[in-house]
Structures are given as structure tokens and as C-alpha cells.
Copies of this chain bind each other. A is one copy, B any other.
Amino acid sequence: MNNAYNKSLPANTQLTQISVNRCFDGEQHYYSHESSSTNTSMTFSIYLPDEALLGHRCPALLYLSGLTCNADNVTHKAHFQQRCSELGMIFIAPDTSPRSSEGTEVPNDERYFVGQGASYYVDATQSPWSEHFNMQSYIVDELYDLLRSEFAISSIGVTGHSMGGHGALLLGFKFPSKFVSVSALSPVCAASESAWGEAAYTEYFGDDKTLWAQADASHTIKTVGRQYSSILVDQGAADNFLAKGQLQTQKLQQACEDAKQPLTLRYQAGHDHSYYFIQTVINDHIEHHWRKAQLA
């Protein structure tokens, strides 16, 4: 381990460092911290190019992962480190939900699209979820402020995959003052009208369809209108979840048309929903966010 570059953590850090590995011209770090939003300990990974380790402010990209994932999937499999090292970009991967740990019992569900690993990045209003499942507040307020105080960050863009693509679109358009750029990979475009999301929102929001709509990415874009000069979305054309109606990319396309929000939407021939697809397009997303950060 070589911590010689690491000048970026303040002395009064709230973070516990889990691991450091040098990777290209930078370091892959993991941290945990106590969250007042989720009332649990939370873990995230952060890739810091040497510029950031030396204290120069760099643009950051926040990546929200999909159902069943934690920070490891994207950190191990998405292959973002090389381009982030080359451009001088920070890459942050939070967990997808609060989780049970020794001494903390977090509610769960046997369905993989509800409960732990499936927060949808919303603040739940219904018991028993509302005590811990406050991932919107966690991402947009608590983690956001923590990252900006602990690391040399100049601006933050948001992206994500599948349920995390929903999260990126939803939070990017609900809180446009927080983010300089938005993109998504294989996003769940209309959570309130997909089988996955209907199951989750029944648990998290009960019958209040106003809350469902406020937690739907396409509905939110239509409501708030254009917020970004352009957004980038990639979708595998051979993605089974697209065929099964979970993603509903056409609803995002319609919402962006209605909102006059410029959208670059690319259907990639032969590609599925896996991290093999994500690694194929991730560099284009890093470059999209890097360019927007230069103009911010």
C-alpha cells in the first residue's frame, strides 16, 4: 500500500478507511461511516486520481448501482479507473440501500427488487421502511456534503445503471442545483409503472400515488422541464429487461421530448443488461460528465 499521495482526508474525518489500492495513476479507496439518514453504517468506494490525492479539486462522478448490487460490482467490473486516471476525475460508488449489521436490524424482503439492495434512492414514508430507507436524503444531502467536505471535489455529476439509472435521472432532475451533469445506463425509466417499481413503491409509499409519481424519473422530467444542456442514455438493444417492460425507455424519450430536454439515446446492438455492457460504454459516460464539468 502506498499512501504517500493521500493528502485529502481532513484530520477530523468522519470516515473509516477500509482499503486502499493503487490503480493506474490514482488510488481506489473504500470507506464506511455512520449515517444519520439511514441510521446505519454505510459503505462507499471512491477512485481518486493523483491530482485529487495531491489536493487539486477534480470533477466527480457519482454512480448509483442497480438491484442486488453494492459498491463492489461497479468498482470491480465497470472498468472506470483508467479513463478517470487519464482525465483526472473522481468516481464514487455508494451502496444501493441500508443493510443489517451486528446490532442493527434493517427490514428486508425476499424479493430481490424490494428492501436491502433495492432502495430506489427514495425516502420511504411507510413503516417499517421509513426508519432506514431514506436514500434520497442520504445521497443528495448527507453523502453529498460529506464528499465535498472530505475530498478535493470541484463539481458532481450523477449516473447509474438500471435501478441506479432511475436514481440518477430522478435525483438529477429533482435536485438540478446539486449536479452539473446527468447520464444513465439501462435505466428503469418509469419506476412507478414497472413491475419492479410497483412492488417496491407499494411497500415504501403505500397507496399514495402522488408519492409514486414524484419518485418516477420520466414523470419528474416532464414536470420540472429542461435542466441540462444534454443528457446521455445508453441501452442494450438485446437487454431482456427491456423486452420484459421493466425499463420502458420510450417513456423517457417521450418525457424528454415533452420537457424539451435534449437527450442522446443510443440503443447498442447485441448488448444485454450486464456489466459487460456497462464496461463497453462507461468511458463515453465519463467523458460526457468530464466535458460538462469543464463548462460548469
Chain A positions near chain B (C-beta within 8 angstroms): 1-2, 4-5, 21-24, 28, 76-77, 79, 81-82, 236, 238, 269-272, 274-277, 279-280
Contacts and interface: CB of A to CB of B under 8 A. Distances in A.
Given A2-B269, A238-B2, A270-B2, A82 B23 contact: no
Contact of A21 (B4, B24, B28, B272): B272
The 10 closest A-B pairs by CB, nearest first: A2-B270, A23-B276, A21-B276, A22-B270, A79-B79, A22-B271, A2-B238, A24-B280, A76-B77, A21-B274
A49 to B, nearest CB: 13
Contacts of A81: 276, 279-280
Residue from the set A4, A28, A79 with the largest chain B CB neighbour count within 10 Å: A79
Q: Which of A1, A77, A274, A280 has the most CB of B within 10 A?
A: A280
B272 A22 contact: yes
A23 to B, nearest CB: 4
Given A1-B238, A4-B270, A279 B22 contact: no
Given A77-B77, A81-B276, 6 more contacts: A21-B277, A22-B277, A22-B280, A23-B276, A23-B280, A81-B280
A144 B91 CA distance: 40
Contacts of A271: 2, 22
A236 B236 CA distance: 37
B1 A279 contact: no
Contacts of A24: 279-280
Contacts of A272: 1, 21-22
A80 to B, nearest CB: 10
Contacts of A269: 2
A277 B270 CA distance: 31
A270 B76 CA distance: 19
Given A22-B271, A270-B22, A272-B21, A279 B2 contact: no
Nearest to A76: B77
A270 B274 CA distance: 32
A23 B277 contact: yes
A238 B276 contact: no
Contacts of A22: 236, 238, 270-272, 276-277, 280
Nearest to A280: B24
Nearest to A5: B270
A279 B82 contact: yes
A9 to B, nearest CB: 17
Nearest to A4: B270
A29 to B, nearest CB: 11
Contacts of A76: 76-77, 275
